[in-house]
Amino acid sequence: MTTPNAKKARTTGIGLGFGFSLLLSSVAQPVFGQELPTMSEDAFEGAKQTYFEQCAGCHGVLRKGATGKHLLPEVKVKNDDGTETVTGTLKLGQDRLERIITWGTEGGMNNFDGILTPEQITDLATYIQIDPPKPPEMSLAQMKETRKVYIEPEDYPTEPLHGRNWENFFVVIERDVGKVAVIDGDTKEVLVHIPTGYAVHVLKASEHHSINEPENPGRFWYTMGRDGKMTKIDLWQKPENMLVAEVKIAYDARDVAVSGDGKYVIGGGYWPPHFAIVDAETMEPRKVVSTRGMNVDGEYVEESRVAAIYTTPHEPTWVVAIKELGQIWQVDYSDIDNLRIDKIDNSKFLHDGFFDPTGRYFQIAANASNQMVVVDTKTRKLEATIDTKALPHPGPGANWIDPNCGPVGGTTHLGTGYVTVWGNDPVNRADDAWKICYEVETDGPGLFIRTHPNSDYVWADQTLHPEPEIQQSVQVISKETGEIVKTIQLTETEGYVAVHFEFNQDGSEVWASVWNRKDSKTDNGEIVVFDAQTLEEKYRIKGLFAPTGKFNVYNRSNHKT
């Protein structure tokens, strides 16, 4: 790989050459003649795929870093005294990199022992010492070629083709096999495993609070795979026919949302960094908007990725979080040929978020900035910024009423074992709004927090702690006292972890996942169903492939958190 490195070194810094003194790009290339690690084309391609599946989410495909650190071969930083400090994966070296990948770090880096083979870890450590290959672009025409329609809209049923209570269905992500399972929440039966994109990150359905209320909210579900494949699911179909259409809008992606009027679906790309607006009925791509841009520090970012996308309940818009830019773009879908975008400056490395109970304020984690950012979707402006402990990550988030602070929201943290709780009612509780109400120390850093209006408790996982017993346990916090009332270990199987919660329609049950990370392509995963009041285990749903996120149809299409 010396030739490409050398070539880049040769051209790096070629300017237009007319007298403007350039700062060097902060990303330098290894210089001529330096000893560089090499690997076979096969090993390179294999490691590239492993990197995409396991690392790109936090470190970026161009490896410039985001939630995770940069993973570039060599980065030169100019110090104030004019000297240069050199960092990068070449400096860390093969052994150190292998150890970090194997055992993880305190700072939120996962441990991959038992998940990747020693050979995969060795190749990965070598791969990240070589310049990242730049992935290709994707045009609207290319997207259109990927569209597949399994059932034409005119053939959709006019009533459910099964006698089931579909509003209490759970749609469950089966991460590593690229499927979602549909589970009947009343009978606990697994109805079907629907093929979707790889490692679906989230699903969305039209919502009750939509400005233009769609019929039967929650009937149609849209998934976004990490490979950029969007699928449309119709819960009124017989289970074997629920997948009705699909289209690929990126090579790497995370989120999806439906417009309030039900006309469009929007999919956000990690690579290429863009979002695509798709016809919600036919899944025909209509428009692509690049999200490459200047970040809030005024620096150009080529890999400025689309993180969370949510439909605003009271405006004809989506909030689109551009991770590396530190901007929320409020995108107005009322006229997509004259597309209005309000670019709201806030904080870098935006990740996931949730609305306050009124649906006006969007609360989102700027996780590597250690902040929660609040956007007022009515004024389309920044409302507040809340400083928190390391790396907040609310997932679906949780809103409830606190006896002292009134309405509050809460988040878990990737970087530390705390749950942070803040006031979120600026209208009636202005003094408490957007200030931390209290923090709860948990046993370890986690990914998800969840509650339900009918529940007295808030549930938090601690999936990111390196110790098995803690990874495998979840904690239950009392809304009344703000204290942890119970810690529950869901599994003792080595290489399995506990993750993510969802309540059933009436809030009487809490569903938590046993994610069989070690053998995630087998159906050894489980969902443990708890009585939401007694906190006792009621039932285990088995036969699931790496179950992670769970989405109850009624709760998710009615904004109850």
Query: For binding to its own copies (CB under 8 A), which residues are involved?
Result: 3-4, 7, 10-11, 13-20, 22-23, 25, 45, 48-49, 52, 61, 133-143, 146, 198, 227-228, 248, 251-252, 271-272, 274, 285, 287-290, 292-294, 297-300, 335, 337-345, 380-382
Element (H, E) at 240: none
Round to the nearest angstrom and report the end-to-end CA distance of the chain.
Answer: 51
- Residues 478, 438 contacting (CB under 8 angstroms): no
Bridge partners of 421, per DSSP, are 410, 438
Complete DSSP assignment for 8-48 = HHHHTT----SS-PPPPPSS--PPTT-------HHHHHHHH
- Residues 440, 389 contacting (CB under 8 angstroms): no
CB of 48 to its own copies, least distance (A): 6
Closest CA to 443 of 395, 492, 498, 494: 498
Q: Which of 209/248 has CB closer to its own copies? A: 248
Which residues are designated catalytic?
Answer: 55, 58-59, 109, 351, 393
Q: Which residues fall within 8 angstroms of residue 252, CB to CB, at 6 or more apart? A: 52, 56, 61, 135, 226, 227, 228, 269, 270, 271
CB of 347 to its own copies, least distance (A): 13
Q: Which of 99/343 has CB closer to its own copies? A: 343
CB of 290 to its own copies, least distance (A): 4
CB of 301 to its own copies, least distance (A): 9
Residue with tokens 């990242």: 132
Closest CA to 68 of 351, 462, 388: 351
Q: Which of 334/533 has CB closer to its own copies? A: 334
d(CA 32, CA 5): 8
For the record, the structure tokens of 467 come out as 């110790």
CB of 293 to its own copies, least distance (A): 4
Q: Which of 61/307 has CB closer to its own copies? A: 61
CB of 482 to its own copies, least distance (A): 34
For residue 448, the SS3 value is: coil
d(CA 411, CA 488): 19
d(CA 419, CA 437): 11
Q: Which of 343/538 has CB closer to its own copies? A: 343
Instruction: Count the residues in the chain.
Output: 561
Q: Which of 15/33 has CB closer to its own copies? A: 15
Complete DSSP assignment for 258-292 = E-TTSSEEEEEEEESSEEEEEETTT--EEEEEE--
Q: Which residues fall within 8 angstroms of residue 455, CB to CB, at 6 or more apart? A: 479, 503, 507, 510, 532, 533
CB of 272 to its own copies, least distance (A): 7
CB of 52 to its own copies, least distance (A): 5
**Is the dihedral angle over the CA atoms 138, 125, 464, 392 positive or is it negative?**
negative
For the record, the structure tokens of 77 come out as 């930083």
For residue 175, the SS3 value is: helix
Q: Which of 251/515 has CB closer to its own copies? A: 251
CB of 523 to its own copies, least distance (A): 23
d(CA 378, CA 400): 22
**Is the dihedral angle over the CA atoms 535, 541, 542, 543 positive or is it negative?**
negative
CB of 463 to its own copies, least distance (A): 25
Q: Which of 250/499 has CB closer to its own copies? A: 250
- Residues 476, 426 contacting (CB under 8 angstroms): no
- Dihedral (Cα; 143, 146, 151, 153), 10-degree rounding: 20
Helix 118-127 to helix 89-103 angle (10° resolution) is 150
At residue 309, what are phi and psi to the nearest 5 degrees?
Answer: -130, 125
Q: Which of 350/476 has CB closer to its own copies? A: 350
Q: Which of 381/542 has CB closer to its own copies? A: 381
